[in-house]
Every structure is written in C-alpha cells, then in structure tokens.
Structure 1
Amino acid sequence: MTTKTKRAGAYRKLAGLASAVLALAVTAGLAGCSVFPKPQTDPTRFYVLTGPAIPAVAASMPAGTLRVGLQTVRTAPYLDGKSMIVRRGDNEIDYRDFARWAEPLSTGVGRMLGAQLLASGQVGRVYPYPFPLEVTRDVDVTLSILRCEGMVKADGTAAASFACIVEVTDARSDGAVRMRRVFNAPETVWTEGDYSALARQLSDAIALLSVEVLAALPAR
C-alpha cells in the first residue's frame, strides 16, 4: 500500500468520525437535549436584621433629647463571616453557606440597636463611632456579641440564640459605668431551615436588648 493510499484512508476515517459526531449533535438537539450543561440557579439567599419601620423612627426623633454614642460593635471571631450559623451542642458550629447575612453582623446589630433607641422617643440622636468632635454626647453604649445564631439542642428542637455584653457609660463625666451586664435573650423556638424566621427572631432579641439599654439611660 502506497503512502498516498494510506493517507486517503486516514482522511476517510476522520471524515466518518466527524459525520458521526455531527449526527449525534443533531439527534441530541432534536431530542431537546444540549451537549452543554444548563446554567444552575444560585440557591444563596441573603438576610438582614429588621426593626421599627422608618415612619416610626422619624416620628419619634423630635421627642427625645438624649444624645447616645454607639461604639463599634464587636463580635466573637466565629461570627465575623457572612454565613448564618447553626450551633449543635456546645462546640459544633455549622456555617450555612446558602443562607448569608447581607451585611456584617456587627453593622446590622449596631444599625438596628440605633433604630430601636431612636424609635423609643427617649433618644434624640445616635452617633456611631467615630464620633464627631463638635458633638457632646450624654452616654456611650458598647456591645460585644457573644452569640447570634440558630441552635439545635440534643433533643432535636431548634431555637434562636442571642447573647452579648452590654455597657452603658456616662460620656460627659469621668466615664462612670451606668450599666454593665451579660444580656441573654430568651430563647425562642425556631424551625430549622427557615432562615427568614431566624433573622426575624434575632431582630426581636435586639429589640429586647434596646429595652435594657433604655432603662440605663439618664432621665430627661
């Protein structure tokens, strides 16, 4: 067999293979199939803490006269990520990558606590840190978040869990401590997997925290 004949045979084999691939693609197309994978829907959902409605905050602002400084909210390091957390037992942490906070947890807690204080009618202004130099504050509030998550207990029941260290100090005098305590919000029953409900229940815990803070503020 000559080289020319061998080359012609190879060309015929390649042509036959190409025809087979083309026929397979046409058949798949007619069957409604695609040779390329279909795009997948992103299952990730994002959640925020909620508080009083904006009209309620706006209506209450003129009534209050106290000026509150809100220090930067600190969180336990394991809470620094965006994934919502479900605790199992004392030591196991489960990060839910498809259920995520839309903002850093420290930002959300500070935002909602400030809104709750303004909505009370007792506070006129809330200044987040860093504070304006020209502003005189009455009190400062410091928060360190210890827990802000869902939890599954040994008996299989689930609950929302929030705890923090809260401190209220005089800003005008020598920084005397008006209140310092560990705040543990009452656990509320939670349906595991309902992350919208978890965000709402943790928001309710912050509302209860604001009641504690308001009780420690000076009377005006």
Structure 2
Amino acid sequence: MQARRHFFHSFCFLFGLLLLAGCSMIPAPQPDFTRYFVLTERGLGEGVVKERADGLRVGLKSVALPAYLDKGSIVVRRGENEVDYHDHARWAEPLAAGISRVLAAQLLTSPAVERVLVHPFPFDRERDCDIAVSIVRCEGVTGEGRPRARGGAPVEINAADDAAKVRARRVCVGPDQPGAGTDHAALVRSLSEAVAALGSEIIGALPANGR
C-alpha cells in the first residue's frame, strides 16, 4: 500500500515538474510596435468651395495600384529595382481608397467642379466625365543623398456617357516631396502632399466647357 502511495506521490511530483517545464517554454507575449497611418487631405477641406450648379460633375473611378504597393505596408524604394516593406508602419485603410479620398477632396477645391462621385457610382447621380487614375509611384525613396516621397500616375479623362470618348490623357508626375528617413509620419505627410499635387494636375486637365 505504501509502495502505491509512494508511486502516486512520485508521479504527481514528476507531472507537476513537467507542467512547470512546459509553462517555462511558452514564450512571453511581445509588445506590438506596429503603427498605422492614413493619407491626409490638403488643408483638411479648408480650400473646398461651395457647390455651383453649373460646374462639372466628376466621376472618380477606382484607383489602380501596382501589386507591389498593394501590400498594406509602407514602401520605401532603394535604387531602381529594390523596395523595402516597413512591416511596423502600415496603412490603416487600403492605399487605393486613401488616394481616392485625397484626390476627391483636391478636385473639390476647383471652382469648376460641382461635385465628385467616387466609384461605385450611384445610379441616380449624373456625371459629365470620368477620371481613371493608375498609380505608378506612391512611396518613399532613399539614395542620391536625401530621402524623399514620390508620386505619379497616368490619368485618362473620358466622357461619362461614352467611355471611348477620351477628353484628356496625360502622365502626371508630381515634384518629389522631402522625406524624413525613418520618420514614417513625416513620410506619410509628404506622400499626402504628393497625391494632392497629383489632384491639382488633374484639375488642370479637366475639360473647360463644363456640361
């Protein structure tokens, strides 16, 4: 009987040691240093004018992104063919949606624009022209002695009632904005300014005859 009791106590003791050893092997939770960023409209709408009844009714199609930008992480280009993904600095919304939001706000600063409709377009709102934007650059750039932010995109403006009727086509490449190395908040501010500058270029390409 005592032998059984001794065996039971020994078994419990060994089982407890195994539990303690297993617990000590579980890694401690690590802090999450990920930061999330959004593009910001220029002036947060301060320059937006009131609607005018005879202005252009603009449709902004879904912004197209190259696959390497559509990863969720902020991208910094090193040289011509190498990019870095900063996994601890991520976009808080899909990058295409952020670019579309900033472009729409910038288009509304033009007194020639009555309203901007973002894809998917409502069936009950008429449009005079549609804008297609294909982003080719929206990233930080290092090298050549200074960090900077760069944005650019081919833009096509079509008649809303006839997609084959091209009213304007151009490649908009905004000036490089000063970057800030590893300061991601400063980089995002510069990228926001680059996208807003792209919007200003699109305004210059809009048809002048209104409706």
TM over 0.5: yes
Cα distance change, pair 89–139 in 1 and its aligned pair in 2 (3 A): same
Q: Which residue of 1 aligns with 2:159?
A: 170
Taking structure 1 as the reference length, the TM-score comes to 0.78
Give the letter for the 1:170 counterpart: A
Give, in angstroms, the shift of residue 77 of structure 1. 1.2
| CA contact 2:37–2:188 (8 Å) conserved in 1 | yes
Unaligned stretches of 5+ in structure 2? none
List aligned pairs for 1:14-93, cutoff 5 A: 38-53=28-43, 56=46, 60-63=49-52, 65-93=55-83
| CA contact 1:52–1:116 (8 Å) conserved in 2 | yes
Q: Which residue of 2 aligns with 1:111?
A: 101
Cα distance change, pair 19–210 in 1 and its aligned pair in 2 (3 A): closer
Cα distance change, pair 55–151 in 1 and its aligned pair in 2 (3 A): closer
Equivalents in 2 of 1:19, 1:215: separation in Å?
A: 75
Q: Is residue 141 of structure 2 the alignment partner of residue 151 of structure 1?
A: yes
Q: Which residue of 1 aligns with 2:117?
A: 127
When the two chains are superposed, the root-mean-square deviation of aligned CA atoms in Å is 3.2
Q: Is residue 200 of structure 2 the alignment partner of residue 211 of structure 1?
A: yes
Cα distance change, pair 5–151 in 1 and its aligned pair in 2 (3 A): same
Q: Is residue 101 of structure 2 the alignment partner of residue 138 of structure 1?
A: no
* SS class of match (2:101): helix
* SS class of match (1:126): strand
Q: Which residue of 2 aligns with 1:101?
A: 91
Give, in angstroms, the shift of residue 63 of structure 1. 3.8
Give, in angstroms, the shift of residue 69 of structure 1. 0.6
Corresponding residue pairs, total: 206
- Return structure 1 stretches of 4+ with deviation > 4 angstroms: 4-21, 35-38, 172-175
CA deviation string 1:130-188 (max 9, x = no partner): 223333211111000111111222x4532212121111223256743232122222222
| CA contact 2:178–2:190 (8 Å) conserved in 1 | no
CA deviation string 1:75-114 (max 9, x = no partner): 1111111011111111112111110011111111111100
Identity across matched positions, percent: 42
Unaligned stretches of 5+ in structure 1? 25-34
